[in-house]
């Protein structure tokens, strides 16, 4: 089992860790990880591991068996032995861009109130697929609404509920094809806005910025038809 440190503090850029296993594929499993593993449309984190004067570049991070998180080396090098104490160093610029894009997509799901059938995040842009037969008529209005949410600098927070509580509130689930992330009977909710004035609340296991203002200006990209009932909408970070 790997403790998901990125869920406790998405802004951790460096942390201590102990190697608990090496996977058959050469992935490095630590007791706690600041590296987010690929999932929910968000790419796995990259960065470096350092120990005993050595520095190993990490290309990506994936989910291992059970609750394990495996760091995948970028090149063949000598790996740390099990029990080795290491320092985790995150590629912060890339991760922070993923956080900005992820929060931007949550806002897009508010502005375009249709079921979400898919999504993808990169360091420059993101996209959501919506269960909507016709293209939105007012693309300028979508972009303006998104930028208003960002300018409002709304707080982004998280809380946990039980699976039973989620089952009693199915309207919280916007994704039609992906099951909400959960662990030990609990489900993590990400909320945009404070108190009763929140604008979005949905299950999510990814990393987000602390306030919408951190997303920065954005640009609405292409709107594509993907099948009879699906429309794909892209949004881009402006810088």
CA distance 180 to 74: 30
Nearest Cα to Cα of residue 63 among 209, 205, 225: 205
- Report the pLDDT averaged over residues 62-88: 95
Rounded mean pLDDT, 193-214: 93
The percentage of the chain sitting over the pLDDT mark of 70, rounded to a whole number, equals 96
Mean pLDDT of 198-211: 95
Q: Mean of the pLDDT values across residues 57-80?
A: 95
What's the pTM? 0.93
Nearest to 34 by CA among 90, 73, 76, 85: 90
Position 84 pLDDT exceeds 80? yes
Q: How much is the pLDDT for 177? A: 57
How is domain 95-237 classified at the CATH fold level? 3.30.980
Question: Is the pLDDT confidence value at 80 over 60?
Answer: yes
pLDDT for res 111 = 96
Largest CA distance in the chain: 59
**How confident is residue 228, by pLDDT bands cut at 50, 70 and 90?**
confident
Highest averaged pLDDT of the listed ranges 9-23, 128-142, 183-197:
9-23
Q: Is residue 207 within 8 Å of 38, Cβ to Cβ?
A: no
Indicate the range of 40-44, 182-186, 205-209, 229-233 predicted with least confidence: 182-186
Helices (H) and strands (E) in the chain, counts: 4, 16
> For position 166, what pLDDT does the model report?
84
* Domains in the chain: boundaries: 3-90, 95-237
What number is the average pLDDT over the span 56-71? 96
Domain 3-90 has CATH 2.40.33.20: no
Q: Would the pLDDT of 224 be above 80?
A: yes
Tell me what the mean pLDDT of segment 42-59 comes to: 97
Q: What is the rounded average pLDDT of the residues 7-12?
A: 96
């Amino acid at each position: 089992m790997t403790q998901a440190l990125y869920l406790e503090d998405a802004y951790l850029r460096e942390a201590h860790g102990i190697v608990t296993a090496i996977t058959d594929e050469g992935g490095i499993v630590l007791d706690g990880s600041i590296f987010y593993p690929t999932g929910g449309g968000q790419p796995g984190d990259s960065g470096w591991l350092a120990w005993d004067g050595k520095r190993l570049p990490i290309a990506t991070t994936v989910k291992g068996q059970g609750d394990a998180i495996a760091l995948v080396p970028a090149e063949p090098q000598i790996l740390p032995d099990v029990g080795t104490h290491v320092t985790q160093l995150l590629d912060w610029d890339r991760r922070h861009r993923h956080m900005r894009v992820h929060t931007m997509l949550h806002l897009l799901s508010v502005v375009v109130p249709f079921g979400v059938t898919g999504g993808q995040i990169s360091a420059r842009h993101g996209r959501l697929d919506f269960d909507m037969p016709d293209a939105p008529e007012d693309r300028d209005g979508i972009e303006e609404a998104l930028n208003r949410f960002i300018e409002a600098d709304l707080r982004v927070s998280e809380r946990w509920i039980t699976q039973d509580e989620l089952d009693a509130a199915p309207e919280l689930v916007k994704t039609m094809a992906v099951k909400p992330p959960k662990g030990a009977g609990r489900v993590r909710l990400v909320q945009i806005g404070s108190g009763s004035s929140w604008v979005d609340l949905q299950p999510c296991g990814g990393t987000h910025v602390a306030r919408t203002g951190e997303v920065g200006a954005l640009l609405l990209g292409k709107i594509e038809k993907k099948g009879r009932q699906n429309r794909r909408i892209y949004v881009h970070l402006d810088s």
